[in-house]
Structures are given as C-alpha cells and as structure tokens.
Amino acid sequence: MIGFTHPLPRADERSSRGNLMDNWVKHFTVGAAATLALALIDVMTTEWLYGGLLGTAGQAIIFLVLALGALATLLLPLAILLAIGGRFLTPRPLLAVGGAALLLGLLTLLLNVGLWEEHPLFTVGLVIAGGVYGAGLVRLERGPSLLFWGVLPASAVALFLVDATQLRGLYVAQHLTVGAFCWLAMAVLFRRLFSSASAIPSVLAAALTVPVLLATAVFWSAPGDAIGENLRYALHNGSTTTRNALQLLAFVSDWDGDGYPVLMGRGDCEPWNDAAHPGAAEIVGDGIDQNCLAGDPTLKAVADYRQWAQPLATADLPTMANVIFITVDALRFDRVAGPNADPVLADIAADGIFFGKAYCLYPGTIPSLYGMAVSDYPSAIPYTPFQSFEFPSGDTRTTLFQVLAESSIRQFAAVYHMMLSPRFGITRGLDQVWSPADSAEGISARRTTAEGLAFLDRVGDERFFLWLHYFDPHAPYEVLEGEASGSGAMGRYDAEVARSALEVERFLGEVAIRGLSPRTAIILAADHGEEFGDHGATHHGQALYEESTHVPLILLLPSGDSKVISTPVSLLDLAPTILDLYGLESATPSAWKGRTLAPHVVGESVPRPFPVYLEAFRPGGEQRSYGVVVGDHKLLYRPALELFEFYDLASDPDERRNLSLYDSGEAIEGTLRALLDLHLATDY
C-alpha cells in the first residue's frame, strides 16, 4: 500500500526487488527503529511530566518494555503493510501518496467507527496528514532532502510531545492516530538513513528488531504479578500514546465483558464472571471476592469492624451559645501552613486549635459540603442531575441544619455559590440563605462579609449558627486593581486567597467588636484544595492527592486555646462536633458516620487513630476513586484500572514515590487495603 520507502531501483538492483523477504526485513527493521525511538521518547516524556516517577534504572526498563510492547503491538502491523506495498506498489508514486492518506483514515475509523460522524473535519485532517506523509516519501525517492527526511521527523517528535503534554483530553483514537503518524514520519527518517546501503546489515537489523520483539513477547506473556502495578501506573500516568495504546489493548482482553481486562497485569480476579471485578460491590461472606480487593470479608470481620467504627464515648466540649462556620472555596492546606502560607491565615491558625491533617470527603464543593452536613460519605448519597452537576435535592438524610432548627437555634448562610442555593437541597433546614441566583463566579468576598455582619446585627441575643462561604479563590482567578499578584494562574490564585483572608480577618474583628467572642466558637475550613499541575492536572474534582484533599481546619474557642493536632481527621466529623459545641451531642442522628473531635480538642488521649476515607467519582457515580489515610500512610485506589498508590506522607509529603511499585511498605499497605475493603463492603 505504501511503497516508496526506499530509493528507486537501479538497473542492477531490479532483480532483487522481487524478493518479498528482503522487503520484509527492511520494513521490519525500519519499523522496529521507529518503534524503539518513539518508546524512548515516551519514557522520557513520562519522566518529564512526572519527575521522579521512574526512580531507578529498573523502573525505566520496565516502563520501556511497556511502551515498546504496546507500540509494537499497534504499529508493527503497519510494517507488514509497508512490506506488501514495497513489493507491489513501488513504481507508483501516486499510490504511495493516496495509500498513506487512506491508511491513516482507515486506522482512525477502525479504532473509532463513530469518529467520522462526530469529528468529520478531524478525520479529513488525518487523511490530509497521510497525504503529506506520502508526498514526503515520493520526495524522498527523488533524492536527499533536508526538508523531508530532517524537518518532517523533527516535527513529528514535536507533535508527539505536544500530544503527550498539552492535548491529553482527546479521544483514544485521536491520540493513537497521532502516534501512528509520528511513527510513519520516524520511518521516513530511518529509511533515509538506511538507504545508503543496498542491504541493511544483519547485525544492525538484529540490534533494532530483537529488543522490540522480545519486549512485545514479555509484554503479552509475563504474569500480572510481574509487571502489574507498573503497568497499571503507566495506564494512568504514562504519556499519551503509550497510555492510550495500553487502554485499547486492555479493552481487547476483557473476556467476560465486565469492563475489566485480565491480560497485561490487570486485575479481573474472575475473568469469566462478569459479576466479579474491581468495580463490583462486595457481598460479604459468600466466598467470592467480588471487588478483587482484599479477599472476601467474613461476617465476623464486618461485625467487628462495625463495632470498632462506632463513635467513642468522650468528654464534652465547652458549651457555646453560637457557632460561626467559615469555609473558603478551593483553599489549599499549604496556603495556611508552611513556606507558601498566607500570613493572615497563618496567624489565625496560630491563634486556635489547628488540625494539621484534616481531609475533605471529596475534592469538589457539592459532595464535600453536603457529605459534611449529613455526616455521610458522598458515594452513599443519591444525586439528582442538573446540567453537568449533580445535587442531593431528593435526599432525605437529616442535615446538621435540621437538627439545629429543632433546637430553636437561629441560622443564616451567606454562600456566594449558585450551587449552594436552597433549591438544590444542600442547605436543607437553614432558616435563611443568601446566594446568587444565576452565577457562582465573580469577586464576592466583601459582599459575603457584609451579609454575615448584617445577620449579626439582626440576630440580637438569640443563639445562632452562621455559615459564610468565601468563593473567591475558585477559578477563574481574578485580580483587582491594586492587588499584588504573582505570575501565572497560581499568582492570581494567591491574590484571591489573600483577599479572602483579609475579609475573614475583618469579619473576626467585627465579631470581637460586637462582644460575641466570649460565647462564640469559630470554625474555619475549606471544602477542598486546588491543583496547579502538582500531579499533572489543574483545578479540582477528581484527584485524591494531598493538594486536592488535605485542607485547613481551625477551631477558635473563647478560651484562646492554641495547639496543633497531628492525627488525621475528616470533615465528616464536623457536624457531630458542632452539635457537641452547642451541648446537643445527645441529638446526634444515629445514621451519622462522623464522630466528635472533642477528644482532640480537650486534650484526651485518642484510643486509636480512626481511618480517614476519601472519595471521588464522575457524574453518575462512574470512574470511582477511593483513598484511606491512617497516621502518615495513605493508600489510593482506582478500581477501573485496579491501580494502587501507596505513600508515606512523613518522608514523601508531595506523593512522588508510589511505594506500590516497590517492595517497601507491603505490610502496612496490606492493612490499609483490608481497611478499605471493609469500608466498601459494609454500610456501617
């Protein structure tokens, strides 16, 4: 089909052109060279994107085998087409041009039959790109040309890097087509380099093809335990071409059609049973490990876990007349503590009881705050879709606000966030809510403070609960005239954090001026964090890394107590803690999963560190991710990929070294897997 991949034959060479085996050797050698080159670029790109990911030479070799095996499986069949084309279509330049164009178009349609209907212009563009490649081959036949055998492959490498780093949101078919085009362009380069000899030396051919063929054999034949964790990590974090090649090949090996393949180290523990896979719900005590996580939990283990997970009897917190709850949207923990902390927020933390390891329930506003209000995990809550968001508008769980209303505590919320308005059910039970009608965007910190102060002026001597939600640090990051701002998105984000911090400070000052401080507890927290490329992503919503889930939590009491608490806690615990502050701990609903933070606050020794669980999922509940934190150790789990990440936060606070890829920490990781399995297997 694509025949012009070697010079036009001289008279003394034409007799050898009929040797099909000679063409196969040449084309396989060129194809192997192109595959090896792209695999090396892919591994280097992965290391560039995720600095320190490879870690050791052994890790680099494993990733190279994965890249070679995946790319060779997809791209070496093109070498067969090239060999056939070199045998039959060599004298026909127009067929070389048209063949290259049609090949890319055909490849795209084979990978995604619906692509033509959804993206016709993109498919046409690929055909044009194939035509350019074919024209390059024709130009190569006419003699050496820097334009085609130099610039074209260099442009392909640049396109490969851009695709891996900037275009990660495209469809699988698009990424793989870009990879195929880059492979063909690299083949032009290597065919030109090899064309000076009438035959490729056998030593060179072996040096190029044998590693590729061996890597492909290892890729498909190695048992899952040998490369499983590394493969799953590459599936999620590898650069674009390898990641999508792995995903496509994994899809082919899904033998029972449950969405979980079994080859290449994947974890479908029941390959012929579509009811058992990493994403399945665990049925306790039936002898089958439905979720392929940590075996089948026994009924006794579940009963023991339920007992262990019950709230502990503790001393009460000092009773307050009022509680002011302040949340700052998308506020990272490192903007309150550490070298990048905002000085105003750092001072507030120093004046109170600072929870140094607090975690949100979910890296997004709606599930995080509503899960906090009902003291339950977001995955247990039914959601009603609205546009691209989902809301608990039909949920009947008892909210914190409903319990407070039954105790005749006056309530008000100033939440500049359209999605927190009463019609979506999140603030169910609040007396009065101020929120915008149409948009959650804009600069609103000063207005939020004003609404809160107006409520304080109205409430008089009544007991009250006030919730202020400062939205400003949320994207889009906007800077007012006269505000100091660093460079880029993070600089603008810091300017909005500073603006919000000043408004919080102003509000706290007004609380003191009004004489409310001696009978009011103040809680400052964040609904979630924010990503700035820490692990290759921006904003928030899906990842469970520290920058998204580790949030500030500060309790200011009239006593002025100040200390730092280093035990991991969850925002799940805030609702029962707030009831405890009002002296209403006996009114805590039995269905709530959280436990009061009183033992930490009053200085009691906590009998055991309870696991902190994290969740994330896309609308509709799909593509779930889970996490569990105990002490300094954190386990992340993505069932769809059966991908585990295990971190020692004491030595690796930035989560750069995934210990699941190594031999260290296996016993602790196994304990966390068992805890997560029990958590997912039972509704305690």
The DSSP letter of residue 319 is P
From residue 460, give the alpha-carbon distance in Å to each of 410, 450, 456, 566.
10, 17, 7, 38
User: Which pLDDT score is estimated for 467?
Assistant: 95
The values of phi and psi at residue 622, to 5°, are -85, 170
DSSP class of residue 431 equals: S
- Dihedral sign for Cα 23, 25, 29, 32, please: positive
pTM of the complete model: 0.68
215/342 Cα distance (integer angstroms): 50
Give the pLDDT of residue 146. Answer: 61
Question: Whole-angstrom distance between the N-terminal and C-terminal Cα of the chain?
Answer: 63
Pair type for strands 433-434 and 410-415: parallel
> Tokens standing for 534?
């820490």
Among the listed residues 453, 451, 497, the one whose alpha carbon sits nearest the alpha carbon of residue 471: 497
Q: Which long-range contacts (CB under 8 A, 24 or more apart) does 6-9 make?
A: 6/86, 6/90, 6/191, 6/195, 7/140, 7/141, 7/195, 8/90, 8/141, 9/90
One-letter amino acid at 547 equals E
- Residue 438, class by beta-carbon neighbours within 10 Å (0-12 exposed, 13-18 middle, 19+ buried)? exposed
pLDDT at 437: 56
**Whole-angstrom distance, CA of residue 378 vs CA of residue 620:** 12
The reported pLDDT for the residue numbered 18 is 38
The pLDDT assigned to 5 comes to: 38
Q: Do 192 and 144 touch, CB atoms closer than 8 A?
A: yes
Query: Among 45, 90, 71, which Cα is nearest to 183's?
Result: 71
The number of CA neighbours under 13 Å toward the Cβ of 96 is 26
Residues in contact with 129: Cβ distance below 8 Å, sequence separation at least 6, in sequence order: 101, 104, 181
pLDDT tens digits along 613-633: 999 886 555 568 899 999 899
Alpha helices in 608-684 (DSSP H): 666-681
What is the C-alpha separation between 679 and 133, in angstroms, rounded? 55
Q: What does DSSP assign to residue 522?
A: E
Tell me the C-alpha distance between 494 and 491, whole Å: 5
Strand residue runs (E) in 224-352? 322-328
Beta carbons of 265 and 62 less than 8 angstroms apart: no
β partners of residue 563: 353
Query: Peptide bond preceding 518: is omega within 30 degrees of 0, i.e. cis?
Result: no
Q: What's residue 17's pLDDT?
A: 41
Tokens of 100: 């290259």
Q: Side chain identity at 655, as an amino acid letter?
A: E
Q: Tell me, what amino acid is at 271?
A: P
Q: Is 9 helix (H, G, I), strand (E, B) or coil?
A: coil
Three-state DSSP state, 126:
helix
Long-range contacts of 53-57 (CB under 8 A, 24+ apart): 53/237, 53/656, 55/657, 55/661, 55/662
Residues 534, 538, 542, CA angle at the centre, nearest 5°? 95
How far apart (Å, rounded) are the C-alpha atoms in residues 657 and 59?
12
Q: Is residue 476 a contact partner of residue 421, using CB atoms and an 8 Å limit? A: no
- The count of other CB atoms within 10 Å of the CB of residue 573 is 26
Cα angle: 632, vertex 377, 444; to 5 degrees:
90
**φ, ψ for residue 356, nearest 5 deg:** -80, -10
Q: Look at residues 631, 581, 625, 596 and name the one whose alpha carbon lies nearest to residue 610.
A: 631
How far apart (Å, rounded) are the C-alpha atoms in residues 138 and 130? 13
Neighbours of 324 (CB within 10 A): 22
Whether 376 and 590 have beta carbons less than 8 Å apart is answered as no
Instruction: Locate 341 and state its tokens.
Output: 């902390």
* Stretches in the chain below the pLDDT threshold 50: 1-21, 87, 89-90, 113-115, 223-227, 235, 265-266, 438-440, 684
Closest C-alpha among 596, 544, 588 to residue 367: 544
Residue ranges of domains in the chain, CATH in brackets:
20-252 (no CATH), 322-602 (3.40.720.10)
Residue partners of 584: CB distance under 8 A and separation at least 6: 403, 404, 407
How far are the Cα atoms of 143, 201, 434 from residue 195, in angstroms, in the given order?
11, 11, 74
Q: Where are the beta strands (DSSP E) in 557-669?
A: 563-565, 569-570, 612-616, 625-630, 633-638, 643-648
Give residues with Cβ within 8 angstroms of 461, minimum separation 6. none
Vertex 513: Cα angle to 512 and 517 (nearest 5): 25
Output the pLDDT for position 465: 97
